[in-house]
């Protein structure tokens, strides 16, 4: 049974470089700790060549002008770890989360899908690179051999069956204890340090030397632990994977060193986050139907004082982008977020950006040759967002009638072609001369009218706001009284008239309303 | 010693003058010289036999020019296919105009209470019942949702863009509102996918509507060309000029004569009698659907309110 291991060397540095790809060609060192006791925690190869090592103080590292120092970011490491698991799970359903920087996957049965083992290894390497990770990939017949090969050899390594001892032999014994720094148990860490010292005293520096030791003598001195280490050195240890079912969480975050004020640099960072999220979703064949943006803002009102621990108080800004359908287009998402932020700006400098996507199954739609034209969902969403930016969100959409007799009892809701298709009920109508239904055109707001009454009869109507709506009442019908919501605070009562006015040009039919509660006369609309 | 003076003139048969004497046909010695190239006489120049040859040679010279060779004679031009026509929702209107053309601009103009909105809603109802999605860009936010539902429009298939008309007194705000209306129209037409896009400018004053430049209408027409979208504009007066392929003019309403005859008091028909048969008179002013010029035709049909009958 073949197994593959994906290992991210210098994981804290790798997480930083994933967020800032432009630093890949430069010497980078990551530090952690509280000032002034900050120490270098991880370095990349270029920084190592310049003499920067782990454990060095930040002040010492700063003496080298060519190295770029970045603080350690748990957020970025978490995102990088999630991306690592996404990469592994795009090839195999059985993935073990061995460490923050290591994932092991079972390749049993994958040859028929992805090709030979070298092809699979190269595909994994490419996929990880696409997700912004600089990784080592190794394939072996057991998980531990694959892990040690990935930690020891850079690039892509494939160990043929029963050649594990030969291939792993040149590696240093430290490969067996590479995860000792991550151990939270201090005693476990100390015992591993002791074993390393013991091997150093014996002159055992390579796995080949450890594998060549006599088993009985080794077990007498180091016990079962020593025998286990020897099996690992020979590449013969076998175990079953412990697959971890990770919840599908697609989040990316960036903490900014300097707050940003303008939306343009924010768009640049959002683009990067969106591309990473979309790549991770694509690796799992998923789309998204909701994007959640959270911005940590600098709180200006709290600037003059700080909290007890000395940190600056922050406030958060949330925006949720609901999509009509599951989609996966980073450019479209960026445009929609830009339009949304233009309409609802944060109002304060931004310190941190957190973007999350709700995963959803991709939509499946069956096209047809003879279907009537319909707008493309992605294009339509962008068009609606742009128009909403012009006239306001509440003034565009589909209309929904409310169950009320009050005037203007309707509301605007989101225009969703998909729901229209699902509720498609074709009505067949016979076109006759009498099919046309007379329509009413509304005046919004209703036109205030000055009404002349003679013996209680409407004689003349004048609207000062609209010159053409005035004249003698040629014909009238009414009133029709209606009222409602008398049990509510906003009760209403009105008399409606249909009138024909003779103005200078022609005759026109209007609806005249007398507000019984307010006492005013209004021309509500015209029959057209 | 005789000498001959040869010149191009002699070679061409033209007379040359020497010492003021005309020596046509003679050399210096006075001997006859045969003409090298006989010149046609004036009569010959204008003879019938000579003229066709001269015109053909000129025409051939013209057509030998590479640019002119690309000109296709009108008789060989391909006939542009007629646009697909769809029902307007009113049978007599379809009989008058043949329907509404796809990929073209149709204008329906008329004064208040002439039936413009009725025709608009009937067209939208027919489109939504065909399964198409429609959009209305409402310049004055004048549509009535109750009327929309009563006309039979499927509400899920209608996108309503409610632009806000600004008060006439604030010209800058009014300009901004008109700009929003045009920009929203541009965005919808660029997005595409709608079976019908209606521009409702029924409440816009003519002087304001005329400020929309013709280039804008050309752009709108160009955007729907070769698409299945029907572009319908409702206004008080025709403003799109030659950009519209179909122009229908509705006349101002009149109280129905037959109802007046039936009423007890002919001056005051009852509410139901009036609202059950509101007459709409439509005139086809222009149609580019046919090659021959269209004669102005008029039809009258009735509409009723939703609650009547």
Q: Dihedrals φ, ψ of B183, to 5°? A: -70, -40
- Asked whether residue B299 carries a pLDDT value surpassing 80, the answer given is no
Residues with Cβ within 8 Å of residue B102, at least 6 apart in sequence: B83, B84, B85, B86, B227, B228, B229, B230
Domains located in chain B, CATH noted: 1-39 (no CATH), 85-247 (3.40.50.300)
Nearest to A527 among B113, B140, B194 (CB): B113
pLDDT tens digits for A18-37?
988 888 888 999 988 888 88
| Distance, CA of A31 to CA of A35 (rounded, Å) | 10
Return the pLDDT at A363.
81
CB-based contact (8 Å) between B177 and chain A? Answer: no
> In B, which residues are within 8 Å of A386 by CB distance?
187
| Distance, CA of A67 to CA of A85 (rounded, Å) | 30
CB-based contact (8 Å) between B95 and chain A? Answer: no
DSSP secondary structure string, A404-434?
A: --STT-EEEE---HHHHHHT---------TT
Q: In what order do the strands lie in the sheet with A250-260?
A: A250-260, A350-360, A287-298, A314-327
Return the pLDDT at B76.
65
| Distance, CA of B156 to CA of A397 (rounded, Å) | 9
CB-based contact (8 Å) between B147 and chain A? Answer: yes
A431 CB neighbour count, 10 Å cutoff? 16
Tokens 């120049």, residue located: B45
Say yes or no for a CB contact (<8 Å) between A433 and B269. no
| Adjacent-strand bridge partners of B162 | B138
The winner for highest mean pLDDT among A74-78, A296-300, A419-423 is: A74-78
B79 vs A150, residue with greater confidence = A150
Give the lowest-confidence range in A228-242, A340-354, B76-90: B76-90
Q: Is residue A101 a contact partner of residue A8, using CB atoms and an 8 Å limit?
A: yes
Tokens 């392929």, residue located: B245
Q: Give percent above pLDDT 70 in chain B.
A: 57
pLDDT tens digits for B30-62?
444 444 444 545 455 444 444 455 555 555 655
- Asked whether residue B188 carries a pLDDT value surpassing 70, the answer given is yes
Nearest to B304 among A374, A438, A500 (CB): A438
pLDDT band at A53 (very low <50, low <70, confident <90, very high): confident
- Asked whether residue B211 carries a pLDDT value surpassing 60, the answer given is yes
B44 vs A51, residue with greater confidence = A51
Q: Please count the residues of chain B.
A: 309
CB-based contact (8 Å) between B204 and chain A? Answer: no
pLDDT tens digits for B1-26?
333 333 344 444 444 333 444 444 44
Return the pLDDT at A184.
60
Return the pLDDT at B9.
41
Return the pLDDT at A190.
81
- Asked whether residue B146 carries a pLDDT value surpassing 90, the answer given is yes
pLDDT tens digits for A487-496?
888 899 999 9
Return the pLDDT at B61.
58
Q: Dihedrals φ, ψ of A312, to 5°? A: -80, 140
**What are the angstrom distances between the C-alpha of B189 and each of A185, A333, B182, B229?**
66, 22, 11, 9
A34 CB neighbour count, 10 Å cutoff? 6
Per-residue tokens: A343: 């309409």
Q: Give percent above pLDDT 90 in chain B.
A: 39
pLDDT tens digits for A86-117?
899 889 888 998 888 999 999 988 888 888 88
Domains located in chain A, CATH noted: 74-234 (no CATH), 250-300+314-360 (3.30.1490.100), 440-527 (no CATH)
Return the pLDDT at B92.
87
Mean pLDDT of A425-439: 57
Per-residue tokens: A516: 């019984």
> In A, which residues are within 8 Å of B164 by CB distance?
391, 395
Give the lowest-confidence range in A65-69, A135-139, A433-437, B248-252: A433-437
| Distance, CA of A77 to CA of A363 (rounded, Å) | 32
Tokens 């291991």, residue located: A5
- C-alpha triplet A284, A289, A293: angle, nearest 5°: 100
Q: Give percent above pLDDT 70 in chain A.
A: 92
């Amino acid at each position: 049974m073949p197994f593959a291991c994906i290992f991210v060397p210098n994981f804290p540095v790798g997480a930083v470089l994933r967020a800032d790809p432009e630093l890949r060609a430069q010497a980078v060192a990551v530090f952690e700790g509280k000032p002034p006791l900050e120490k270098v925690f991880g370095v990349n190869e270029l920084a190592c060549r310049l003499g920067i090592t782990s454990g060095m103080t930040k002040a010492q590292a700063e003496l080298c002008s060519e190295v770029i120092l970045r603080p350690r970011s748990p957020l970025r490491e978490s995102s990088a770890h999630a991306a690592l698991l996404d990469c592994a799970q795009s090839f195999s359903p059985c993935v073990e989360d061995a460490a923050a920087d290591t994932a092991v996957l079972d390749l049993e049965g994958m040859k028929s899908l992805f090709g030979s083992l070298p092809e699979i290894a190269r595909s994994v390497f490419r996929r990880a690179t696409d997700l912004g990770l600089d990784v080592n990939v190794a394939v072996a017949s057991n998980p531990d051999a694959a892990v040690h090969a990935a930690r020891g050899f850079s690039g892509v390594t494939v160990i043929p069956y029963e050649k594990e001892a030969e291939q792993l032999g040149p590696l240093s014994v430290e490969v067996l204890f590479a995860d000792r720094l991550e151990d939270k148990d201090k005693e476990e860490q100390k015992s591993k340090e002791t074993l390393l010292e013991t091997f150093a005293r014996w002159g055992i520096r390579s796995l080949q030397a450890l594998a060549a030791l006599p088993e009985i003598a080794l077990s007498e001195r180091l016990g079962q632990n020593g025998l286990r280490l020897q099996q690992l050195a020979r590449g013969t240890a076998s175990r079953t994977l412990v697959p971890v079912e990770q919840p599908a969480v697609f989040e990316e975050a960036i903490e900014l060193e300097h707050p940003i004020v303008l939306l343009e640099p924010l768009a640049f960072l959002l683009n990067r986050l969106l591309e990473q999220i979309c790549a991770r979703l694509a690796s799992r064949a998923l789309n998204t139907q909701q994007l959640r943006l959270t911005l940590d803002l600098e709180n200006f009102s709290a600037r003059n004082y700080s909290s007890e621990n000395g940190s600056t108080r922050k406030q958060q800004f949330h925006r949720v982008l609901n999509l009509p359908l599951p989609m996966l287009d980073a450019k479209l998402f960026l445009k929609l977020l830009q339009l949304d932020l233009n309409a609802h700006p944060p109002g304060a400098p931004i310190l941190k950006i957190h973007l999350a996507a709700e995963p959803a199954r991709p939509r499946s739609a069956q096209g047809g040759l003879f279907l009537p034209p319909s707008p493309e969902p992605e294009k339509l969403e962008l068009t609606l967002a742009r128009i909403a930016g012009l006239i306001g969100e509440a003034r565009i959409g589909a209309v929904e009638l409310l169950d009320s007799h009050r005037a203007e009892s309707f509301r605007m809701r989101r225009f969703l072609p998909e729901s229209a298709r699902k509720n498609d009920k074709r009505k067949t109508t016979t076109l006759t001369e009498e099919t046309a239904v007379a329509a009413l055109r509304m005046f919004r707001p209703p036109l205030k009218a000055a009404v002349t009454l003679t013996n209680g009869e409407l004689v003349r109507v004048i609207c000062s706001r609209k010159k053409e709506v005035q004249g003698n009442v040629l014909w009238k019908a009414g009133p029709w009284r209606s009222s409602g919501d008398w049990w509510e605070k906003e009760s209403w009562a009105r008399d409606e008239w249909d009138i024909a006015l003779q103005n200078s040009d022609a005759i026109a039919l209007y609806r005249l309303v007398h507000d019984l509660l307010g006492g005013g006369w209004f021309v509500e609309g015209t029959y057209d | 010693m005789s000498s001959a003076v040869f010149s191009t003139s002699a070679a061409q048969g033209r007379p040359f003058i020497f010492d003021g004497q005309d020596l046509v046909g003679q050399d210096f010695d006075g001997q006859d010289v045969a003409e090298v190239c006989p010149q046609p006489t004036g009569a010959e120049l204008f003879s019938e036999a000579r003229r066709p040859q001269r015109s053909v040679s000129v025409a051939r010279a013209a057509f030998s020019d590479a640019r002119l060779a690309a000109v296709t004679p009108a008789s060989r031009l391909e006939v542009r296919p007629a646009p697909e026509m769809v029902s307007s929702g009113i049978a007599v209107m379809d009989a008058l105009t043949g329907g509404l053309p796809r990929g073209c601009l149709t204008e329906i103009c008329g004064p208040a209470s002439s039936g413009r909105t009725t025709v608009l809603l009937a067209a939208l109802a027919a489109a939504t019942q065909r399964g198409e999605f429609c959009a209305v860009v409402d310049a004055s936010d004048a549509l009535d949702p109750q009327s929309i539902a009563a006309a039979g429009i499927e509400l899920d298939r209608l996108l309503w863009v409610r632009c806000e008309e600004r008060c006439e007194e604030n010209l800058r705000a009014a300009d901004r509102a008109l700009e929003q209306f045009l920009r929203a129209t541009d965005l919808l037409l660029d997005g595409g996918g709608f079976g019908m896009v209606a521009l409702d400018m029924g409440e816009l004053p003519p002087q304001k509507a005329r400020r929309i430049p013709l280039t804008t209408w050309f752009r709108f027409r160009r955007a729907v060309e070769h698409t299945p979208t029907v572009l319908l504009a409702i206004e008080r007066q025709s403003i799109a000029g030659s950009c519209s392929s179909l122009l229908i003019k509705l006349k101002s309403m009149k109280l129905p004569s037959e109802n007046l005859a039936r009423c007890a008091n002919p001056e005051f028909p009852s509410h139901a009698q009036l609202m059950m048969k509101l007459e709409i008179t439509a005139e086809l002013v222009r149609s580019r659907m046919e090659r021959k010029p269209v004669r102005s035709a008029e039809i009258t049909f009735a509409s009723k309110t939703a609650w009547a009958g």
